Each structure stands twice: as C-alpha cells, then as structure tokens.
C-alpha cells in the first residue's frame, strides 16, 4: 500500500447526502456517470469522507467510478450514518442498500461488499434480483459463529476476545498493532499510514458503536440464502479466508472465486489485481433484468374452528365476520409491507421481502382478529420461489403451507430457515422439534413466543 498522505482534506470529495432507512438516517454520496451503477457496501470500518484522505483508497474508488456511477454509503452504526445502540437485524441492514439505491435513483446496480457486509449484499441479491446486475464479495462468510454443522466459523470465545479488545482499546495504537500483527501486515512500519488507520477507526465508530457492529457480524447466518442467489457473483479473498470463500462459492450457482495474494484489507496488497478482477467481471457479468426466481418469506393463515363458528353465528353474521377478518388482515399486510397473493375460504396467502416483518405481521394478525372472537394459526417459511406473473410458486410455497398446517390455535410457527435469518431481532422461539411435512421432507419447526 502506498504511504503518501495528504496534510489537508481533499477538496474534490462529493457532497454527502442522507436518506432514511426506517427510522435511521444513512449517509451516502454519488460520483461518476455512465450506464452502470455500482453500490459499494463497506465492512466493519467506514467513513465516507475521511477514508478519501488516503491516496490509495481514494484511487481505488476513483477507478471504480470510471466504470460508471459509484454510490457509496456508511452503514447504520458507523461513519456519518446514525448509530443506533441496538443490534440491527440483517433484514434492516439489507434495507439500507434499498434505501440508498432509491435515494440515488438507481433502478439496478452491481453490488460490491466487503467483509461482513457480504451477508446483507447476498440477502439483497436473493430478495431483489431484479435490482442486482452482479455482486462482488470481498472475504465474505456465511455464518459468523461456529456451529456443529459449521465448524469453520469463529468460536464464541474468539468473538468474545475481539469484543473485549474493542471495549478496552478501540482506536488506540496498541489495539491496531495487535490486529496487524495477527494478519502479518507491515502497515505499522509506516508511521504516517499507521496513524491514518488509527484515526480512521476513531472517525468510523466509537467503542460502543464498534461493539454493536461486531455483534451484528457475530450473529450473521445466510447459509440458507446462498442457493437462492441467481445473479453473477465474484468472490475475492485472501488465503486467510479461503475456507469461508470456498463454502460460499460451492453454494452460489455459477459463482467464481479468485484468491488475491497478501494479508491486508481490500485496499492493501494486490490492489491492482483486485481492481482488474472487478473490472473484467463487471464487463461481462449481467444478471437477468427479469429474474425467474426470488427469495421470499411466505405466510399462510387460516381461522381455527371456522366451521363450528359459522354454524354458531349463522350465514349472515358469519359473512360479516369474515369481511371484518379480511379487512383486518389486509391492514396488517399494508403495515408490514406484505403482499396478498391469494385467499381461499377463511385463509390468506401472502409474501414478504423480509422474515422479521412477516413474523410481526402474523403476530399482529393474531392479536387483531381476537377482537372478532376468532383465533387463527399462521405458518411461515423463507425460500426460493418461482415467479409466475404476479404470483409465486414452488417448493418454498409448499413448505410454508405445510408449516401452517402444523400450527395450533393462536400460534405462529416458522421453519428453521426463518429462525436463522432473524438473528438480532429480539424475537424468541420455542423449539417444536423435527416434523415430517407431507411431500416436502423433514423440517425443524419453531414457535414464536415473544417478539
């Protein structure tokens, strides 16, 4: 990495703008022009303006901007964006990309994501394939913490050690020297560059904000999302992250993997090779503008004991009750960005672009219909769905219907895929064990007990 440093702030830094993602303000800026939009999602450390004081980093982004229109942003919790203290869900972080693209007027873009931002980029690519031309992931990983079926993740003890080090030394020379020593980097040999890194940490996040960001990374689990990605993907990595990169490459259809020599960040050793690989990939990689599949969370509901209740009320009053029931459900769907797909008798079939919203919608439905002295059961599943006009179909839809059939009165029952994707949401579950679902195999199911 080049070590020349500027003594004054750069004068050609683009104007920083803000957009809202939920109740959080996200800082972004746009530079360059052309037919291709590129959205750069940073990893743990980012500050829109400060990082441009390093000539190497500035040169990296200038070269990307030569390919089209470059949209950069600071994720929630770091840099110039709002710093909420709570650990945001992956779904909320994914929404930051959507909010920034909407604000910048970008209908479709290539995503470039580094480190833990790879998780939200993969979720976005699977959920909104029509908006993603391609994705470049730098040193991504599918799950933050090791598990029995994912031994390559970091152990909870290793994560705790990192959290302790952040709390005790974030932004200090001692902290950074230890980080560089563990990766074999020689950045600390360059006094000016080393001080710039220290200042970048302090500008990017306070110790508390850094802890929140690292906890987000710790709770990542997008293993079930990877097979749903249908856009062209390039995975770049160092030798130290080869195992994670191989895992993801094997599970993303058509993904290409390239190992870049060296041990530093994306802005370090081999930066010219990194940029050349990105340029060559984007020159030929163009995903389908009208995808055939999409990652979606499906929700099925139906009234428990409807036959008995209809007999009790009589035809007219039952019809009025059903009309009120349908109106309540539609209000809940509007509130949580759900899309009504079908109704059959006293049941609803809807889809969502995120499982957290789907769960909270199901709970709201349960609560609201009790005003009518009704009880419903609900089932949810997240998976790859086939797009058929304005409808969706496929195995994921069948799994969702089967999950709903196993729910009891007043229960919201979800598949293990849904549970894994809502980490950090505060939603609590009770394990209902493994169930053989007719025609779709064995699935582990969980009941929502607190949201």
Q: How much is the pLDDT for 187?
A: 57
| pLDDT tens for each residue of 155-178 | 999 999 999 999 999 988 888 888
Task: Kindly list the structural domains of the chain, giving each domain's residue range(s) and its CATH number in brackets, ordered by start.
Answer: 17-284 (3.40.50.1820), 293-450 (3.30.70.1230)
Please write the tens of the pLDDT for every residue from 434-446.
999 999 999 999 9
255 contacts 234 by C-beta, under 8 angstroms: yes
Q: Which residue has better confidence, 361 or 181?
A: 361
Inter-residue contact 412 to 301 (CB < 8 Å) = no
Closest CA to 209 of 48, 41, 81, 121: 81
Phi and psi, residue 158, nearest 5°: -65, -40
Whether the pLDDT of residue 54 is over 80: the answer is yes
Residue 33 has pLDDT above 90, yes or no: no
pTM of the full structure: 0.88
Return the beta strands (E) in 307-440 as ranges.
Answer: 339-344, 347-352, 376-388, 391-393, 412-415, 428-437
Instruction: Tell me: pLDDT of 5 over 50.
Output: no
Q: Are the C-beta atoms of 302 and 377 separated by less than 8 Å?
A: yes
Contacts of 64 (CB under 8 A, 6+ apart): 32, 38, 40, 70, 112, 275, 278
Q: What is the mean pLDDT of residues 29-43?
A: 92
Asked if pLDDT for residue 287 goes beyond 70, the answer is no
Q: What is the pLDDT of residue 185?
A: 61
Please give the pLDDT value at position 7: 41
Mean pLDDT of the chain: 90
């Amino acid at each position: 990495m080049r070590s020349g440093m500027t003594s004054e702030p750069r004068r050609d830094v683009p104007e920083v703008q803000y957009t809202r993602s939920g109740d959080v303000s996200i800082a972004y800026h746009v530079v360059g022009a052309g037919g291709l939009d590129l959205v750069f999602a940073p990893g743990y450390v980012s500050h829109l303006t400060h990082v441009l004081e390093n000539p190497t980093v500035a040169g990296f982004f200038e070269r990307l901007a030569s390919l089209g229109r470059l949209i950069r942003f600071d994720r929630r919790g770091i840099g110039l964006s709002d710093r909420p203290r709570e650990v945001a869900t992956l779904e909320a972080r994914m929404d930051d990309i959507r909010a920034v693209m909407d604000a910048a007027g970008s209908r479709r873009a290539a995503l470039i994501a580094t480190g833990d931002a790879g998780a939200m980029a993969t979720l976005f690519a699977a959920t909104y394939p029509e908006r993603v031309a391609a994705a470049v992931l730098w040193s991504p990983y599918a799950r933050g913490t090791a598990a029995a079926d994912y031994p390559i993740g970091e152990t909870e003890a290793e994560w705790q050690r990192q959290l302790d080090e952040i709390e005790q030394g974030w932004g200090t020379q001692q902290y950074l020297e230890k980080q560089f020593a563990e990766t074999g980097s020689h950045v600390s040999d360059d006094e000016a560059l080393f001080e710039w890194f220290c200042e970048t940490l302090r500008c990017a996040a306070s110790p508390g904000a850094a802890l929140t960001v690292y906890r987000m990374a710790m709770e990542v689990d997008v293993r079930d999302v990877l097979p749903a990605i249908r856009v062209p993907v390039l995975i770049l990595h160092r030798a130290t992250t080869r195992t994670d990169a191989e895992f993801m490459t094997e599970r993303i259809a058509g993904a290409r993997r390239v190992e870049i020599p060296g041990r530093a960040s994306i802005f370090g050793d081999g930066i010219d090779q990194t940029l050349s690989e990105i340029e060559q990939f984007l020159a030929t990689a163009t995903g389908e503008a009208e995808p055939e599949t999409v990652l979606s969370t499906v929700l099925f509901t139906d009234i428990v004991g409807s036959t008995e209740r209809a007999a009790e009320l009589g035809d007219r009053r039952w019809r009025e009750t059903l009309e009120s029931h349908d109106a309540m459900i539609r209000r809940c769907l509007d509130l949580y960005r759900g899309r009504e797909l079908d109704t059959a008798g006293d049941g609803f079939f809807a889809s969502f672009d995120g499982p957290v919203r789907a769960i909270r919608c199901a709970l709201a439905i349960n609560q609201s219909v009790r005003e009518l002295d009704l009880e419903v059961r609900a089932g949810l599943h997240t998976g790859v769905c086939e797009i058929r006009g304005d409808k969706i179909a496929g195995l994921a839809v069948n799994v969702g219907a089967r999950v709903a059939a196993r729910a009891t009165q007043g229960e919201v029952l979800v598949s293990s895929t849904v549970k894994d994707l809502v980490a950090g949401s505060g939603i609590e579950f009770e394990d209902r064990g493994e169930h053989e679902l007719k025609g779709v195999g064995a699935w582990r199911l969980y009941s929502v007990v607190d949201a």
